[in-house]
Amino acid sequence: MRILFLAGALVVAASFIPRPAIAAMCGPSGDVAVIATRTVYNYNATAGKNSKKIDKTYIMSIAILGTYAEVNLDFPQGPIFQFWIEKSGNWTYAGQQAPKGWPASVAVKLNKMSGETSSGSKQCINPNWKNRSSSG
């Protein structure tokens, strides 16, 4: 009986341990962190000279399916998407659209996750995201 009580107490105590905010997005937290960092770097590196630099609060959501990922960046003028692929253990930028050659099922699932996020689902939302869209 004492063992069951102790186990129950440990489960309750573990539920109060703070978790990294980034873990709320969809995918392994290590991969989410790498993709978030590279997304900000990639955007800032390719933005025009007079463009505003962004930080991770511009990332509305990240969805990872295996070695494929989609990032939804939120801007007043509308979303920008970045697609990523993991090759040999490294996440590599693949473009602003799912590249040709990606499995159709992956593209559909990523788009569905992104669409759910856009329609109000909190499934893959970055808890540090600051809404900048003109619609909300």
The continuous run of DSSP H or E covering 3 comes out as helix 2-15
Q: DSSP code of 52?
A: P
Q: Is pLDDT at 6 greater than 60 in this prediction?
A: no
The continuous run of DSSP H or E covering 115 comes out as helix 104-118
Tokens 């990332």 correspond to 59
Each residue's pLDDT tens digit, 33-85: 999 999 999 999 988 788 889 999 999 989 999 999 999 999 888 888 999 99
Each residue's pLDDT tens digit, 7-43: 444 444 443 333 333 445 788 889 999 999 999 999 9
Q: DSSP code of 16?
A: T
Query: Taking a C-beta distance cutoff of 8 angstroms, is the pair 122, 129 a contact?
Result: no
Q: What local confidence, expressed as pLDDT, does residue 94 receive? A: 95
pTM for this structure?
0.73
Q: Is pLDDT at 2 greater than 50 in this prediction?
A: yes
Q: What local confidence, expressed as pLDDT, does residue 27 receive? A: 86
Please give the sequence-ordered ranges of beta strands (E in DSSP) within the chain, or none if there are none. Answer: 59-65, 68-73, 80-87, 90-95
| Cα R_g (the chain), whole angstroms | 18
